[in-house]
Amino acid sequence: MPTKVKAASGVEKVMKMIKDHSVKIIDLKFTDLIGQWQHFSVTATEFSAEIFEDGIGFDGSSIRGFQKIHESDMLLFPDPATAFLDPFTTAPTLSLVCDIADPITHESYSRDPRHIAKKAEAYLRSTGLADTAFFGPEPEFFILDHVRFDQSHNFGYYYLDSEEGFWNSGADDERNLGHKPRFKEGYFPTSPIDSLQDLRSAMVLTLEAVGVAVEVHHHEVATAGQTEIDMRRDTLVRMADNYLLYKYVTKNVAKKHGKTVTFMPKPIFGDNGSGMHVHQSLWKGGKPLFAGNGYAGLSEMAMYYIGGLLKHAPALCAITNPTTNSYKRLVPGFEAPVNLAYSQRNRSASVRIPMYSTNPKAKRVEFRCPDPTCNPYTGFAALLMAGLDGIINKIDPGKPLDKDIYDMTREQLRDVPSTPGSLAESLKELENDHEFLLRGDVFTEDVIETWIEYKTEKEVEPIQLRPHPYEFLLYYDA
């Protein structure tokens, strides 16, 4: 079952927070298999320290990727280390992230993404190779002013708008003051072209107020409010917790300012999509293990870790790029790194070794394929398992590709593998290549099967069945 509170201090701290801040509502958050926070709330008068030990029930059959109707009862166990005061509620509210267990056996639930992430950390320690994996994702997202979308039997459309969008440079509007970032030129002029400085700062300060350390924020390449806010690296489970809190904060701060946030990888045609480059490193006994005397200052272990990422990348994409829209971004010849090669400093390679610092503690590898629709618990766990497979099996990543891959010809790229071209392809790759995920019982067959089944039935097939608006432009008069 989920790890029970070993010391009363964590629970006592939460109960003290409830009293000191006159908390009226305790909000219990957990993650569905797809990677979205779910929640329900209890009053402070009904909440007690016993809940940390005994759990609290909920209906698992209504949660995506979870239970069938005849086995719906599940338990939540709040983690006292995740407590924060919610900055968006009217009533004083304390939030807690929870683990999930079976109410009969009290065993941890195999499809609880947070449990999978915890098992990945435990498996890492069991190998003796390292005791800590640090992750530093760089999520990108769009801050928009207006969105409409609908789908039925006889119509389907979407409409996005942003005051900052370059398509509004000619708008006959009293608020049009010009100074709109051109397509692919949003990285990164100052205001007034960058109109979102204050809003991003509000997001950052709110993140810090709820305990998420932030390193930097800036406008990203695309027009129409593309943004990046980078969190300080952390251990796998803590970073996954922080990433879902990051989404919660950015979306709600935007809403307070009359704007809306989307983490869709490719919401706007003709400009850059939103990725989530993921920095990774292994440590043991407080010492970094990826620094060495090899290529780009890497250790042999780091090179093998890269070998594992590259070997399993097609299968990883089913988890790190888990939507049909993900593959509107992962298109050969455009901005996203689809070629499975590694290189120092080179942002056109799928694995990059940043060279900002010579400090061994800063040595890391960056996997550039993922996007922000990734479930952080399963995504980071899968990346770690691929890297560990590379280390255990001494997988040679081959020679680096220190060229601008975007300028290489098809002939030059003939022997360079690439990411799958669709979600359906990546799910097939995962079906054929997931043994590395099963080590240490980190992922289980039921998780892999449920993931493939859900994504196929709920996303791949519905998209395949529906006509696309652009098809009318192409074929209506055929």
The single residue of 79, 220, 234, 429 carrying the catalytic annotation is 220
The answer to whether 411 is a known catalytic residue is no
Known catalytic residue at 148: no
Q: Look up residue 420 and give its DSSP letter.
A: -
Q: Which of 106, 217, 347, 439 is catalytic?
A: 347
Is 277 among the residues known to form the active site? yes
| Token representation of residue 203 | 């997001």
Q: Among residues 12, 50, 59, 471, which one is catalytic?
A: 59
What's the maximum distance between 2 C-alpha atoms anywhere in the chain? 72
Distance CA 205, CA 412 (A): 47
Q: Measured between alpha carbons, how far is 340 from 312 in angstroms, rounded to an integer? A: 10
* Residue 185 to residue 126: CA distance in whole angstroms: 47
42 within 8 A of 25, measured Cβ to Cβ: yes
Question: In sequence order, which ranges of 24-163 are alpha helices (DSSP H)?
Answer: 51-54, 113-127
208 in active site? no
Residue 459 annotated as catalytic: no
Respond yes or no: is residue 32 known to be catalytic.
Answer: no
Q: Is 185 a catalytic residue?
A: no
Which member of 140, 194, 271, 429 is catalytic? 140
Give the C-alpha separation, 111 to 140, whole Å: 27
347 is catalytic: yes
Catalytic residue among 32, 366, 389, 459: 366
Residue in this structure with the two tokens 């009318």, named with its chain if needed: 472
The one catalytic residue in 228, 241, 429, 459 is: 228
Burial code (b: 16+ CB inside 10 Å, e: under 16) for 336-372 equals bbbbbbbbeebebbbbbbbeeeeeeebbbbbbbbbbb
| Length of the chain counted residue by residue | 478
| Residue among 79, 112, 138, 234 flagged as catalytic | 138
Spatial distance between the Cα atoms of 211 and 337, rounded to a whole number of angstroms: 32
270: burial class by Cβ within 10 Å (0-12, 13-18, 19+)? exposed
Of the candidates 164, 368, 389, 434, the residue annotated as catalytic is 368
Q: Active site includes 368? A: yes
d(CA 316, CA 443): 13
Residues assigned a catalytic role: 59, 138, 140, 220, 228, 277, 347, 366, 368
